[in-house]
Chain A
């Protein structure tokens, strides 16, 4: 069992929203949002700009407090926790921010090492930090950037370093905020392939906020085969050792003006007659 899976053993729900609402002045950011995700599940949140996707992600780890409702992270109610009480629980969650959120005053290696050296619950011996950092950067194929600063990297590379930092401590849950926003289609596919690879290598749960249906499609239909070292269509490697979660465990959630207007599988999403939901599904 991987460290990610072992740390969630016995927990039925990694993240649960119960009628969570939030307003910014006159703007409704979240309106009675409820959902629940379990270990190993991939949750893809689709929505137009300003629909509350990023706010949902920030509320999930207590960066923003909701006006009403409850948020449970790893079974613990985090709604009323103080900032210093949240640090422990947050260190069990990896986060990729929209622009990477890398600290530009320190090097790539120091950025990736940050969760290991500053996390509240990670007691990684100092001599192992460098190895873990190199492993994480090798995973995103950026080992050569160790000594560079984030400003010297391209947008896609920064996003990949962000992924390395999010997963270096092997958290059981990783949140991705628009991981492919503003990237060309090739780089976007590379990023999503890395996220799928990480999911299936570590058996971790993902909450992916995105505007692109293709991102969710890739997560639902492709799995990383540890034996071949490649992403393969989910149906072609069923039963193979080291497969990731069942594709049915990729759940889509569509948001509109702070409300959840759809929750279901890819097939249910494609079959939806709702005009807004249909806008996210490409017509071939």
Chain B
């Protein structure tokens, strides 16, 4: 029994610490001081910095979905509806999830390694000693920046994905521009747009807070920084899939 308690104690304590960190980061939204400069720096790093990989990934996702779906739809003589499939798949699911995974790989790791390096070189202690709350200065700006930029990146990914699908639909399948875009536009309902924007917003909390959480828990020098980075990417990616399943379930029921 004691062995089981010892086994369970670290993960339970970890979850508790994560909730405490999240609570403090959210509470700081309503407390001074606010570090606007840090928010803009992080928005640039997370948003502008991730723009090109999001554009490339989004475009080729649209290309691949269109090629795969057109083959499947051909069996039913419905290749004309490929725009609808691409729009629904991208806006509801693939746009938010792929963008979140890219940002998790690029920014959760970046956040964890930056904060982890600060932790092992005593910069976090120095910050506290100099009268600054590290959660207010480091965590809250990253959380705000990710929550603003991830939905925007997702909109970009959705759009270039549709564009990628259009390129294939027009040049390979032979659909007209109006056939593709009208079909894609009409397929989208209010429910799709809401879940397509709500998901990246929730993923943004997960990615930023998990990155900060593992960064601030780093111990054991440079090896610890590497470990924190890996954990941040793995855990945030898994949670993106878990949460998208839960949200999809809710929205499918609402429909």
Residue ranges of A at the interface with B (Cβ–Cβ < 8 Å): 58, 61, 63, 83-84, 87-88, 90-91, 93, 95, 97-99, 101-104, 114-115, 118-120
Contact = CB atoms under 8 A, between A and B. Distances in A.
Nearest to B137: A118
A114 B129 CA distance: 11
15 contacts: A63-B125, A63-B128, A63-B129, A83-B128, A87-B132, A91-B131, A98-B122, A101-B122, A101-B123, A101-B125, A101-B126, A102-B123, A104-B123, A118-B132, A119-B130
Contacts of A91: 130-131
B contact residues, range: 10 to 19
B129 A103 contact: no
Contacts of A87: 131-133
A202 B201 CA distance: 53
B182 interface: no
A95 B130 CA distance: 8
Interface in B88-145: 118, 121-123, 125-133
Given A97-B129, A102-B123, 13 more contacts: A58-B125, A61-B129, A83-B133, A87-B132, A93-B129, A95-B129, A97-B125, A97-B126, A101-B121, A101-B123, A103-B118, A103-B126, A120-B131
Contacts of B132: 87, 118
Interface string B38-75: 00000000000000000000000000000000000000
Nearest to B117: A104
A114 B122 CA distance: 16
Most buried by A among B121, B122, B126, B129: B129
Contacts of B122: 97-99, 101
A72 B174 CA distance: 80
Nearest to A93: B129
A99 to B, nearest CB: 6
A91 B131 CA distance: 6
Contacts of A88: 131
Interface of B: 118, 121-123, 125-133
Nearest to A88: B131
Contacts of A90: 128-131
B121 A118 contact: no
Nearest to B41: A105
Contacts of A61: 129
B125 A99 contact: no
A98 B130 CA distance: 15
Nearest to A116: B130
B121 A114 contact: no
A58 B122 CA distance: 11
B133 A119 contact: no
A114 B126 CA distance: 11
Top 5 nearest A-B pairs (CB, nearest first) are A101-B126, A87-B131, A97-B122, A101-B122, A91-B131
A169 B133 CA distance: 19
Contacts of B125: 58, 63, 97, 101
A118 B129 contact: no
Contacts of B121: 99, 101, 104
B85 to A, nearest CB: 46
A248 B211 CA distance: 51
A270 B121 CA distance: 35
A63 B125 CA distance: 7
B130 A114 contact: yes
A63 B133 CA distance: 12
Contacts of B127: 103
A84 B127 CA distance: 13
A97 B129 CA distance: 10
Contacts of A119: 130-131
A101 B127 CA distance: 9
Contact of B130 (A83, A84, A118): A118
